[in-house]
Chain A
Amino acid sequence: MTGENRRTDDETATDGGTQTGRSETTDTHRTSREKRGGLHRFDVSSAFGRQAVTLVLAATLTFLTLPILVTVVASFGTSWTGVIPTGYVNLDNWRTVLGLAEGIGVRQGVIRGLAYSAGLATAGMVINIVVGVPIAYSLVRYDFFAKDWINTLAILPIVPGVILAIAFLRMYPERGGSTFGLIIGYALLKSPFMVLTVQSSLQSMNLQQIEESARSLGASWIRTFLTVIVPNAKDGIIAGSIITWTLAAAEFNFTYIVHSAGPRPFSLFLFENITRSPVLQGAAAVSVYFLIVTAVIVLLQRVGKAGFTTVER
């Protein structure tokens, strides 16, 4: 749109030039300008660039959200033979998933697995707060030996879950696949999300100034950290806790290989439903998790994140 306006302005200016009588130079000038104008007129990017980019955005949004919507809708259907499932509103799939009716391919309802995973995720989240907040603070506030290396180590997951799981099989043979191993694994695998979120919250504060005020008023550094820095970084810590909790509650790659004893975690329940159950029952199981994520995103927006991300709004 602005391109059009600009061209008209240019032409007016050139016309003005002709009128004052600088004939020859203006003519050559004008031809080259017309040539450029011609090129400009056929420029594909001003004509279709914005449409093309918007189309990519629309197609991607459809690709990312359509299956989620279809899954939720399908979980209330009876059968799926045509384009969309039919026979609404049927709550049988939900009853099976919630453990109120016998299902196919699964041993129990979602409640027990979800409660167990919620407990594991909460324990992992507590470890992440204890471990992640101090290291995030020292990485933002201080400059020290091998800082860049430690930073990289802390914010990029060191070991993929599958590989860590193989090592856990023998590292903790008795307890690796049980509650203890799962909590340690979740805490380690999800800690980067806590460190990053707290870091981005601390970066927006003038740490040195706040700290010096507190210290000069007589507070010890531990007291300064706990009663001045931590409360100021509250939103980041809450957001980090929510993100690490959600990711741990549905962690699959590590859990699938390591789990050996005790109640079955939520993600294994999801896997059974996805691979062994009728597709509509799987849809209901997956919808349970969508509900959790939606609630989490609403919570995250209240503490200043645009979505499920460590980046500030």
Chain B
Amino acid sequence: MNTIRSFVSPRTEADRERRRIAVMCLPYFVLATFGAFLPLGMLARMSVSESQFSNEGFSLSAWELLLTEPVYREIAWNTLWFATATTLFSVAVAVAISHALAKYQLPFRRWIVAMVSFPIALPGIVVGFMIVVLFGRTGLLTNAVAFFTGENPIDLAVALTVGGLFLGYSFSLIPRATMVLRGTFAEINEDAEEAAKSLGASPLLTFRYVTLPQVWPGIVAAFVLTFRTALAIFGTVLVLPALNVATLRINLEIQSLGFNLATASAIGLIYFVFIFVFTFGGVKLIDNESLKI
């Protein structure tokens, strides 16, 4: 009661400040309510609906299906190992790129950053197309290799294999991981590195014992953000359907396999809960300052 009164007619500056904060946050929460919270509630309702076309009755058949059908366990496994592998690879490459951008005298540094950031703007389907351009049957690299080895380009094309999909994921993930890490590398204390070097440590040892501990929070942040992005990739895997991951399956459930909205909702809900728990667990490990895209 008191809080409501102080909200309507604030008496102290602290009350006024609280009201100000609430007013400033309000537009966001209105959008989040209609754009996310209510739809998520609807998703939960849809997953236990008896009918696929309207919310009627109560049935756990969609959930039973997810627990009993082996194909869904396989999808969960595929989604997790593939996202983990591509994230680890992308963050490792991003560490090397950020290191080079921060430490080396590179020509056209600004343009290099712009070029690395370019793929962030590309939707997944375009990324899939990029992989086809390089590694597809008519692809540039496929035909270049075929030209030198004399093999048939159709046998050499890797765009539609798991390897091609791996490259497609990396194409989207490396730029994001790099942008997170670039901020961390800019804040390194260079005196400590200089000291280590002048005491005779090799570049590798300096990196291992002086640089790495300093950028570790950034690496964890990059891992958390990149892994989340990897889980949500859909367009790339739609163009290069080499692996049955969850996003692809959700689309399959509502298009090719009929209109299994309840099953799609149940997968979506598990997916959301997983990402939510992972995010809030992950941000406990990292500094809010490192959260960047």
Contact = CB atoms under 8 A, between A and B. Distances in A.
User: Would you list the 7 A-B pairs with minimal beta carbon distance, nearest first?
Assistant: A307-B117, A45-B204, A167-B39, A188-B35, A160-B232, A67-B130, A307-B114
A65 B114 CA distance: 11
Given A163-B250, A271-B125, A282-B129, A152 B279 contact: yes
B189 interface: no
Given A270-B123, A271-B125, A166 B265 contact: yes
Interface string B111-133: 01111111111111110111111
Interface residues of B, number: 102
B91 interface: no
A88 interface: no
Nearest to B55: A170
Q: Could you say which of B101, B182, B291 has the most chain A C-beta atoms within 10 Å of its C-beta?
A: B291
A138 interface: yes
B292 A311 contact: yes
Contact of A144 (B18, B198, B288): B18
Contact of B123 (A169, A251, A275): A251
B93 A56 contact: yes
B181 to A, nearest CB: 10
B114 A163 contact: no
Given A44-B204, A135-B28, A196-B292, A171 B38 contact: yes
Nearest to B44: A167
Interface in A243-276: 246-247, 250-253, 256-257, 267, 270-271, 274-275
Interface in A208-223: 221
A258 B291 CA distance: 30
B121 to A, nearest CB: 5
B138 interface: yes
Contacts of B293: 155, 192-193, 196, 309-310
Contacts of A166: 43, 46, 250, 254, 261, 264-265, 268
17 contacts: A45-B204, A54-B104, A65-B115, A66-B134, A68-B130, A131-B30, A132-B28, A135-B27, A138-B21, A144-B18, A152-B291, A153-B32, A159-B39, A250-B123, A279-B136, A306-B114, A308-B114
Nearest to B175: A64
Contacts of A131: 27-28, 30-31
Nearest to A173: B54
A35 interface: no
Interface residues of A, number: 102
The A interface is mostly helix, strand or loop, or mixed, namely helix
Interface in A174-206: 184-185, 187-188, 191-193, 196, 200
A142 B140 contact: no
B163 to A, nearest CB: 13
A64 B126 contact: no
A16 B30 CA distance: 77
Interface of A: 2-3, 6, 36, 40, 43-46, 49-50, 53-54, 56-57, 60-61, 63-68, 70-71, 74, 80-84, 127, 130-132, 134-135, 137-138, 142, 144, 148-164, 166-171, 184-185, 187-188, 191-193, 196, 200, 221, 246-247, 250-253, 256-257, 267, 270-271, 274-275, 279, 282-283, 286, 289, 293, 296-297, 301, 306-311
Given A164-B39, A306-B117, A169 B133 contact: no
B231 interface: yes
Given A49-B203, A144-B18, A311-B183, A169 B117 contact: no
A279 B118 contact: no
Contacts of A279: 132-133, 136, 138
B276 A252 contact: no
